[in-house]
Amino acid sequence: MLTSEQSIVDFKAGRAIPDRLRRSTHRHYTEYAEKMLSVYSNGVGQQRRQLHRQVESLFADEPDCPIRRIQAFCKLLDDTSVYQTDPDGKAAKLRLQVFTEAGRFHPLVEQPDQLFEHDEKRIKQELSNKLGLPWDQIEQSLYSDVIAYQRLERFDGYPNSSALLSRYNVAQLQACLYRAENMIVSTTDDFKTILRYAKLAHLLHDIVCSGPSKYRITFSGPASVLHETRRYGVNFARFLPALLACKGWKMTALVKTPWNRSAKLVISDKNGFTSHLPSPDEFDSTLEESFAKKFGSERNGWQLIREGRILHDHQKTFVPDFTFRHKNGTEVLLEIVGFWTPEYLAHRRETLQQFRHNRIIIAVPEKTLREGANIGENVLVYKTVLKLSPLMEALERIRSENTTT
């Protein structure tokens, strides 16, 4: 994905318009894309900065290409590349050795004389002999821990030029959403798929049923989240390709402008964006996955059901993360809260109160609680992982109450 610095957005008449390459006006970019793919495909062994310079040179005579667009292309090409890294800090150790030894002969000159007598070639050869490495290898390794000097090991790339250009358009759309205060998705089809990916991304959301098989999902945007804004923004952006792959939806986002005003970003499934639907593994679903593995398919007579039920109370809709069903017929729903804002938590409590005729357990991160907060009996508090023992105690207490009544 792109960074905020690589985002290009026009704000006109209250609308946010992300940069988009269209066939009608940018048909010639197909040739540029082919050349960029060629630079990286043939660039194994070259430094990242060298590859970037080659891409920049391709657009040297192109009047319709701002520098941010070039930087965005380089970022997208880098995202599908594997570069050499230096996790053990060998480059830093090598620099210390080389500079310590060479410092004794400073300054080094190409043409030694009576005043400056240390020949650069001779000193390099002496250093090479002492370290037991050819000087070319030393030179290549000296700054391998610096991102710009990392060398390309493998380029997985894109299937073709059209795929790269399509990815650029979606990436600019994603980057625009980093500034979103909220996003409303109205959907008639693929509601469960959209909601599944929203939950995998831990997006703060509220659902209203607006008609038969019609839902309106309101998401809190990155600009509204008080904590872990960057991570939430990344999750928000990752959700977009999943939405683009679905049918029967319209999205309206309220985006902050650089002048601290608001502008609308409006798109739908009719706008022709091509999605590379991410797999669920790309989303931060660690908490749910680890919890489901620990619980297993059945424990103490309780069965874990991953497919959430859709609950309705008039227009209000609630879809929990998990359903637990006991062999005696007792059902308990579990909702796990990840990201949060005070307003979102307050709204969630209202929702749970509205659906209180259902047996619902809510799990909240410890950091969301204020000092002295009153924790209800069906609220579980977790730090980083949801533990089974308090959950099983809550399930058994609810089952016992259900059996008694």
Summarize the confidence of residues 174-202 as an average pLDDT.
Answer: 89
With cut-offs at 50, 70 and 90, classify the pLDDT of residue 67: very high
Q: Which is nearest to 232 in space by CA: 202, 200, 193, 206?
A: 202
Distances (CA, A) of 68 to 61, 75, 109, 375: 16, 10, 40, 49
pLDDT tens digits for range 27-65: 999 999 999 999 999 999 999 999 999 999 999 999 999
pTM: 0.78
- Position 341 scores a pLDDT of 65
In the chain, the percentage of residues whose pLDDT exceeds 90 is: 44
Q: Which two tokens stand for residue 208?
A: 């209203």
- Position 210 scores a pLDDT of 85
β-partners of residue 152 are 83
Res. 15: pLDDT tops 60: yes
Res. 315: pLDDT tops 80: no
Residue 337 vs residue 58, higher pLDDT = 58
- Position 278 scores a pLDDT of 60
Q: What is the Cα–Cα distance from 36 to 58, expressed in whole angstroms?
A: 8
Pairing of strands 379-382, 360-365: parallel
For the chain, the structural domain boundaries read 4-82+157-281, 90-146, 286-404
For 316-339, b where at least 16 C-beta lie within 10 A, e where not — what string? ebbbbbbbbebeeebbbbbbbbbb
Residue 141 vs residue 152, higher pLDDT = 152
Domain formed by 286-404, architecture: 3-Layer(aba) Sandwich (3.40)
- Position 233 scores a pLDDT of 84
Q: What is the Cα–Cα distance from 391 to 246, expressed in whole angstroms?
A: 35
Q: Which of 206-220, 294-308, 367-381 has the lowest mean pLDDT?
A: 367-381
Q: What is the Cα–Cα distance from 345 to 335, expressed in whole angstroms?
A: 12
